[in-house]
Structure 1
């Protein structure tokens, strides 16, 4: 058969067949007119070499497998030399994986150093030239304003569920045992970080953008909030505690952040959520909990960078 038919039946390119032949892995007979004439055995050899190449074994190192088939064995790896070829290929891949892992770690370290060099900003805008410009506590103009859809109207008067969440402080916080007095519990979708991209289209989702400015607001007003009657302030999101701990440490938050990766609080209280980046997230809102019962709800929250001041004003009035 002609080379094109061999390539088709073996599932490789004609160029690959020619290369295998140049290495002496395939040796078709020559017809009187000079054309190559391949047989079924050649197809099997080419198919085997192609399969090994796809596994990462260079064609020039497949000779033990070819010789094993040519010796009449049923399988190309029935011979000791073939097994040695597998081991050599595995050792080579292991070395390459270790090298790539080390290279990846170095690149990640460079990214982290460069991203945090400016002071720990977490969200980016584009300047007038279209270049990314890092911002820290400010919000871009023109963000969509979330509408009050009534999704939190049922919450005032509800008792907090028997749910215990891990805090960035290392403590386990029982939401049904927050203690006497008023607790400020602000829920947010997710916080960005300098070395991690936010979900695509984040700025276009009403109420999504602004977790860092909101957290900074609660940080800056923390003493005033406690003076106005808040016995405790907590942030809460579905991000894991390790991620939140980096966020809280970078922003020097004087309060703990709670992790609810399974959105158990949303299920218990029927809280509004949304999806972005393949994940379901809390909609931004703040609960004022008094003696274990939700006394007041802020929802929707906008703009988030002024929200801590809104909560402070409410506490002073009440």
Structure 2
């Protein structure tokens, strides 16, 4: 067969076939007219080279496999030398993976360090560092509507659930000290090195966790002055992850982790799914005397929600 036919049947270019010939891996017969004539064995060899090179074994290092075919074996890896070729290729890949992993780890560390070092701690600093886009919400975000998923909560007693906290000691929501406590629940807070779930901005009420956390930060003293004994944020993210959020955003309050949706199951709190994952819907509970005194749901815009809570506390003194 001609080189064009061989290349088509083997799934390679004619240039690749000529390259294999230059390495002595394929040796076609020359006809009287000077054309190359490739046999079925040549086709098999080219297909084997193509399969091995796709696995990362260079064409020149396919010789042991081709020699295995030459001595009559059915498969090119029926010989000990072929197995040695596999091992050599695996060792080389392992070294490359280790090197790439090390580089990736260093890049992630630098990204996180830069994000933490440059993350603004106040609206004024935010403006000065020209990073306001980190806290700004898109103007076309869909507004969440009240679907009635939280109407049963006011007056409900808190279940006996203890959640891990970034403050160190676990928090028993059913046994908080006397007074009012603010618990705002959010889907997730992203970081510069982690992408948000696909379609996040199109889900009503999903976007805006960082601005909400910072709004509670910036009005924390006002909230406590208005009667809030404590403020806590809560999501399904791990305590270690949330601790990084607390450190990066300089939050004066602790975050709670409910990775197993324990509070959602006990109180039938609203949740949603995105990109194959499950999240809490954004809502805020005012807790007093072991019961839910008031519920904010739905919440919009999230970057002004702490001010909404503050206004309620002032309008409804304990």
Instruction: Check whether the contact 1:189–1:283 (CA below 8 A) recurs between aligned residues.
Output: yes
Structure 1: distance between partners of 2:73 and 2:198: 55
- How far is the alpha carbon of 1:101 from its aligned partner? 1.9
Task: Return the match for 1:148 from 146, 149, 172.
Answer: 146
- How far is the alpha carbon of 1:301 from its aligned partner? 1.6
Cα 1:220–1:115, aligned 2, differ >3 Å: closer, same or farther?
A: closer
Task: Return the match for 1:299 from 294, 297, 300.
Answer: 297
Instruction: Check whether the contact 2:143–2:205 (CA below 8 A) recurs between aligned residues.
Output: yes
Structure 1: distance between partners of 2:61 and 2:132: 50
Task: Return the match for 2:180 from 154, 179, 182.
Answer: 182
Structure 1: distance between partners of 2:132 and 2:95: 38
Cα 1:190–1:174, aligned 2, differ >3 Å: closer, same or farther?
A: same
- How far is the alpha carbon of 1:55 from its aligned partner? 0.8
> Within the alignment, does 1:258 sit opposite 2:248 as a pair?
no
- How far is the alpha carbon of 1:136 from its aligned partner? 4.8
Task: Select between 138-147 and 268-277 the one with higher mean Cα deviation.
Answer: 138-147
Structure 1: distance between partners of 2:70 and 2:22: 17
Structure 2: distance between partners of 1:274 and 1:300: 13
Listed one character per residue, the Cα deviations across residues 137-162 of structure 1 (whole Å, up to 9, x for unaligned) are: 55455544332232211111223334
Match of 1:225 in 2: 223
Task: Return the match for 1:315 from 297, 313, 316.
Answer: 313
Written as runs of structure 1 = structure 2, the 5 A alignment for 1:264-279 is 264-279=262-277
Match of 2:243 in 1: 245
Match of 2:29 in 1: 29
Q: Give the SS at the match of 1:288.
A: strand
- How far is the alpha carbon of 1:297 from its aligned partner? 0.4
Q: TM-score, normalised by structure 1?
A: 0.83
Structure 1: distance between partners of 2:297 and 2:190: 22
Written as runs of structure 1 = structure 2, the 5 A alignment for 1:146-225 is 146-199=144-197, 202-225=200-223
Q: TM-score, normalised by structure 2?
A: 0.83
Match of 1:48 in 2: 48
Structure 2: distance between partners of 1:120 and 1:74: 66
- How far is the alpha carbon of 1:15 from its aligned partner? 3.2
Instruction: Check whether the contact 1:165–1:260 (CA below 8 A) recurs between aligned residues.
Output: yes
Instruction: Check whether the contact 1:120–1:193 (CA below 8 A) recurs between aligned residues.
Output: no
> Within the alignment, does 1:75 sit opposite 2:75 as a pair?
yes
Task: Select between 250-259 and 266-275 the one with higher mean Cα deviation.
Answer: 266-275
> Within the alignment, does 1:101 sit opposite 2:83 as a pair?
no
Structure 1: distance between partners of 2:273 and 2:131: 26
Match of 2:126 in 1: none
Cα 1:82–1:120, aligned 2, differ >3 Å: closer, same or farther?
A: farther
Listed one character per residue, the Cα deviations across residues 294-316 of structure 1 (whole Å, up to 9, x for unaligned) are: 22101122232332232233334
Cα 1:146–1:99, aligned 2, differ >3 Å: closer, same or farther?
A: same
Match of 1:86 in 2: 86
Aligned residue-pair number: 308
Instruction: Check whether the contact 1:116–1:194 (CA below 8 A) recurs between aligned residues.
Output: no
Structure 1: distance between partners of 2:16 and 2:257: 54
Match of 1:111 in 2: 111
Structure 2: distance between partners of 1:40 and 1:141: 65
- How far is the alpha carbon of 1:83 from its aligned partner? 2.5
Q: Give the SS at the match of 1:49.
A: helix
